[in-house]
Structure 1
Amino acid sequence: MDSTRQQKINRLIQKELSEIFRKQTQQMRGILISVSVVRISPDLGNAKAYLSIFPSDKGKEILENIRANVKAVRFDLGQKVGKQLRIIPELSFYLDDSLDYLENIDKLLNKDNKKED
């Protein structure tokens, strides 16, 4: 269970990372990156960010690009939240494929419904 401070920092980092990715993807047409969840460690030194990337077929490629530029993303985050946090956490990015999972379940359910008709 996260403490209240951890929850506030999770929301702050999620909001700021979303804004950073929104600005970076403005030039790339048809690509949308949203930060679905951020989890920060109890010592506030590490943060795991789960990204939902649209279109999902480019997800792995974009995630690798983000991971290669994690220092620049952390620097940008530090510029935005430097006044609120003493230590800017190390960032780890993961692909959030829950939407793909839900879409797959929906397809399977629709396929079963068509068989019954």
Structure 2
Amino acid sequence: MTNRIIKVNELLKQEIGQLLLRRGDVPEGALATITRVEATPNLQEARVYMSVMPEEKTKEVFSALRLNVYDIQQDLNHRLKMRPVPRIKWIGEKQTAKAQRIEEIMDHIKGKEEEKK
């Protein structure tokens, strides 16, 4: 990955995060976090990886983001002084869900050990 792509990824992560906060596109009661952004080498597309808490709200959050992707893209196009501005593609982060599940299992085991004492 080139230095330029790394900088573009960080810029997109920061700008999209600020846009989502300002616009309020994430439904109430959900916490959405952009974990990483991966732009293609030709800057035509950017995959925005997100984790959502609680996990039950994931479908609701992604449907709201997909519904508003055109408006978010337009805001991003106006804010960034680069051309082309990559098209946004939302992707759910699976690693975060796995980590959350492991943490739940460990808490369950810890609770059982405390009951034995």
The two structures have a TM-score, normalised by structure 1, of: 0.83
1:65 and 1:26 map into 2 onto residues whose CA distance is 7
Aligned to 1:22: 21
Aligned to 1:91: 88
Identity %: 25
Q: 1:3-36 CA distances to partner (integer Å, 9 max, x unpaired)?
A: 1000000000000000011112289543332211
Residue 109 of structure 1 deviates from its aligned partner by 2.3
After TM superposition, the structure 1 stretch with the greater mean CA deviation from structure 2, 5-14 or 43-52, is 43-52
Task: Tell me if structure 2 keeps the 8 A contact 1:18–1:33.
Answer: no
Residue 100 of structure 1 deviates from its aligned partner by 2.5
The two structures have a TM-score, normalised by structure 2, of: 0.83
Number of residue equivalences: 114
Aligned to 1:36: 35
Unaligned regions of 5+ residues in structure 1, if any?
none
Matches within 5 A, 1:49-68: 49-68=48-67
1:27 and 1:115 map into 2 onto residues whose CA distance is 36
Partner secondary structure for residue 57 of structure 1: helix
